[in-house]
Structure 1
Amino acid sequence: MTKTEQLILTLSDIKALYRSDSLPRHWWQGWLCHVLDQPSSFLITHDDHVLTPKQRQLFDEGIAKMRQGVPLAYLTGEQAFFGRIFAVNEHTLIPRPDTERLIEVVLDWAAKSPLDAGYILDLGTGSGCIAITLAKELPSWQVLAVDFSDEALKVANDNAKRLSANHCQFARSDWFENIEGAFDVIVSNPPYIAQDDEHLATLVAEPITALVAKDDGLYDIEIIASQAQRFLNKDGLLAVEHGYDQGMSVRQIFDKYGYDDIKTIQDYGGNDRLTVGVRGVSR
């Protein structure tokens, strides 16, 4: 810590120091709120508040980790998703706002479906944010969420208990390896980043196996599309998140394996983000 930084004691001083910093503003402000255990409004209304030595040490340690690429959510251990707070750690991806589009699409499909209740499968659940959200938003439906990572499944189970998602069950499976039965909806946010993608340099903290796939990021998507037909009920929905530049390729994969009503849906930024298809009469 420099002599100048040692003199910085108030929130006003800290804000002045980091106003033009290279760290994203919501990162250092979010971490500051976490350290203070205060809402974001506290930073506006209490400019003269002085951090205790322990708070300042914790804040500085967090800033140092963020400069090394550790995201804010891994420091706080939580991330908001669809209006709920989910625990996350280094074994799970951090839920992102664009994945909320996947939730919206499934909810819209369920609202238009003749089914009063159904069965959903979430492949590669990670923190459980997709499965648990669907279980909470569709209380008459049953949800099965799977992952091959025992560490991720522990996080997902803990999230489900804390959020009282009682009809959301979890199991260990590498995609469909240990799956039995038939489902009305299959959803997945699988690995879809190509192994040589330049964006990987900024994702040093998240689990690489949940991010990267062979065949230009399409390997796992093709596995899911090719096998999902056997586990979907007639007119069942397959919805898969993918990269912004993969819409056409994923539609071609869905068409290859005989899905109907194939379409790609954009995220909040107007980028292709997920593709859906329906299982027809023939498997």
Structure 2
Amino acid sequence: MTAPKAVDMTVLQIKQQVVSTATDAGIPKFWITDWLLYVLAKPSAFLIMEENYQLTDSEFEQFNAGVTKMQQGIPLAYLTGHQEFWSLNFNVNEHTLIPRPDTEILVEQVLLWIKAQGNTETTIEKPKNKANKRLLDLGTGSGCIAISIAHELAQGSTGNTKTNVAKNSWQVVAVDVSAEALEVARHNAAVNNITNIEFVQSSWYNELPTNLESLFDVIVSNPPYIDESDEHLQRLQAEPISALSAANNGLADIEHIVQQSLPYLRAGGLLAIEHGFDQGAAVRQLFLDNGFDAVQTMQDFGGNERVTLGQLF
């Protein structure tokens, strides 16, 4: 005789409790339903087609344990170990930030700029005796920015629009000070079949050469930019704080990246940085004070200033 279940819980019952559970925990509703699908190893249609499915004891225990961890501040992506970004799948853990949708704006703007250079007379000085152009991603973390850009450039496209960018004509260099983060990034490059990328352990530019052949046509970064005293950091304690917050009202690392970029960026090259919603004016001034032109700030999906770009002339 089969022993009775300790808890008889169906998909429908969980769905009926999602709103109250998410509200009480202060987490997005989709975290709970996505976690349920992960535990059951089912596609999203299962939530509609199989509402009467009754979880096994082990499934319920795993589901309930995960919800408890989310209530304690552990993000869904750390429970599943992965996060989608730019149509690719990335492994993440406690050593890396979880990729955010707004960071796709940074990827998109860099690709659009590269496309424009391919369609017009470029002002970038051509590297001597070197076919490949070079792109640097500072503070790569999971590698989501570098790998997404490298993926598009290896395809010979920028986003959904084909360009005249030659396949494999770009070499991407991804830098991070954390050896653990770089291990994750290397794995993500491998699983996404990205080969036109090199990983370097370095604190920003420190371990990079400055000779002419090593200059970059594009430097991109999503650095720490949250003020160290910002109360929102309390909700992000599961993620590496060193990758989130910075001194000087959150501007210290951005200031360093901009000021130190000149020996590493080719004339006519692009610098693109993600920043806080209220830092646009300050970041634009940093660009202008350090010799950048065509400086502009792009908004994220919420209409907030999020990415500033400028060319070095």
Q: Normalized against structure 2, the TM-score is what?
A: 0.86
The aligned counterpart of 2:15 is 15
AA of the residue aligned to 1:191: P
Alpha carbons 1:122, 1:188 under 8 Å: kept: yes
Helix, strand or coil: the match of 1:138? Answer: helix
Say whether residues 1:169 and 2:191 are aligned partners.
no
Report the equivalent of 1:249.
Answer: 282
- Other-structure match for 1:25: 29
AA paired with 1:262? V
Q: Is the Cα–Cα contact under 8 Å of residues 251 and 262 in structure 1 kept in the other structure?
A: yes
- 1:81 pairs, out of 82, 85, 104, with 85
Structure 1 residue 95: Cα displacement:
0.3
Q: How does 1:56-135 map to 2 (within 5 A)?
A: 56-114=60-118, 117-135=132-150
1:129-148 aligned within 5 A: 129-139=144-154, 140=168, 141-148=170-177
Q: 1:54 aligns with which of 50, 53, 58?
A: 58
- Is structure 2 residue 237 aligned with structure 1 residue 208? no
How far is the alpha carbon of 1:204 from its aligned partner? 1.3
* Preserved CA contact (<8 Å) 2:141 2:185: yes
8 Å CA contact 1:261–1:277 kept in 2: the answer is yes
Distance 2:19 2:42 in 1: 20
> Contact 1:240/1:275 (CA < 8 Å) preserved in 2?
yes
- Equivalent residue, structure 2, for 1:43: 47
CA distance in 2, matches of 1:224, 1:244: 18
Number of aligned residues: 276
Where do 5+ consecutive residues of structure 2 fail to align? Answer: 1-5, 123-130, 155-167
SS in 2 for 1:244: coil
Question: Offset of 1:24 from its aligned partner?
Answer: 1.7
Contact 2:7 2:57 in 1 (8 A): no
List, as ranges, runs of 4+ consecutive aligned residues in structure 1 with deviation greater than 4 Å: none
Return the offset for 1:17: 2.0
- Percent identity reads 51
User: 1:44, CA displacement in angstroms?
Assistant: 1.1
Separation (CA, whole Å) in 1 of partners of 2:268 and 2:188: 31
- The equivalent residue for 2:157 is none
Alignment pair present for 1:194 and 2:198: no
CA deviations on 1:102-133 (whole Å, 9 max, x unpaired) are 11101100111147952100000000000001
> Any conservation in 2 of the 1:8–1:14 contact (CA below 8 Å)?
no
2:184 aligns with: 155
Contact 2:298 2:308 in 1 (8 A): yes
- For 1:146, give the aligned amino acid: V
For 1:17, give the aligned amino acid.
Answer: Q
CA contact (8 A) 2:287 2:310 kept: yes
Show CA shifts across 1:176-230 (max 9, x none). Answer: 0001220000000000000111211110100000000000000000000001111
> Which deviations, in whole Å up to 9, do the C-alpha atoms of 1:16-37 show, x marking residues without a partner?
1223222321110111010001
Deviates more, 1:111-120 or 1:145-154: 111-120
